[in-house]
Amino acid sequence: MRGEIIFNVVLFAVSIFLYYVAGTFKQFAPYAKLGPDFWPKGILLGIIFLSGILLIKNIISLIKHEIKKSLMKSEQEPYRLFLVIVVSFAYAFGMGIFGFLLSTIVFQIVLLYLLKVKRILLIILISLLNTAMLYILFILVLNMLLPPGVGIFRTISLLFY
């Protein structure tokens, strides 16, 4: 419940901020009556109104009934997920530098380690096989241009492209 309240507060606050941002959109004289802010503002008002109602409902139910429940242990384990998300974004940023091949192998090794696969040899083998499969499908079969990286990594990647 507490997490849901935080989610709704963030939604409510971000919507108000974006409503303000929509007010700063450049206007174009011939369409002044229905400018670029017309549609987003309408949507944001709807989100602000509904998330506000949800927030009030959340707080009321937290006060009335849910205090005990909110103190109960969660069925979710956030730490592993947090690490996986961090690794995912590191992969997204790293691909531009290290290229598709190297970053995908490293990403899968780290991910499999985080997902409690203990045999190192198996982790390396699976990562190589998965990356090889992606390489064959996207680069060889579909001829798609995946990021080759920069510098020395680019030179190495281009040997395979």
Partner 1 sequence: MGFYSCFQPGNFIALVAGTIAGIMAGAVPGLDCSVATALLITLTYKMTPSEAFVFLAGIYCGGVYGGQIPAILFRVPGASEAVMTTLDGYPMAQKGEAGKALGIGLLCSLLGGLFGVMILILLAPPLANLALEFGPAEYFGLSVLGLSCISSLGAKSQMKAIISGLLGLLFATVGLDQITGMARFTFGTGMLQGGINFIPAVIGLFAAAEVYNQISLKRYEMGGVRDEKKSNRVKVKLPSFSELWPIKWSMLRSAIIGTWIGILPGVGATTAAIVGYAQAVRFSKHPEKFGTGIIEGIAAPETANNAATGGAMVPLLALGIPGSATTAIMIGAFYLHGLQIGPMFLQQNKPLAYTIFAGMALANVIFFVLGFFAIKAFAKVLELKYPYLAANILAFCAVGAAAMGDIYGMKMMFIFAVLGFFMEKYGFPVAPMVLGLVLGPIAEPGLRRALLIADYDVWLVLTRPITAFFLILSIFSLLTPVLRNLFSRRKGHEMMDIKSQD
Q: Which is nearer to partner 1, 71 or 89 (CB)?
A: 89
Short-list 70, 46, 75, CA closest to 58: 70
User: Does residue number 23 form part of the binding site for partner 1 (CB under 8 A)?
Assistant: no
Alpha-carbon separation of residue 32 from 19, 53, 68, 82, 122 (angstroms): 18, 32, 53, 45, 63
Q: Which of 55, 59, 62, 147 binds partner 1 (CB under 8 A)?
A: 147
Applying CB under 8 A, does 19 fall inside the site for partner 1? no
17 binds partner 1 per the rule CB under 8 A:
no
Residue placing its CB nearer to partner 1 in the complex, 67 or 92 = 92
53 binds partner 1 (CB under 8 A): yes
CB of 112 vs partner 1, minimal distance in Å: 5
Say whether residue 89 binds partner 1 (CB under 8 A). Answer: yes
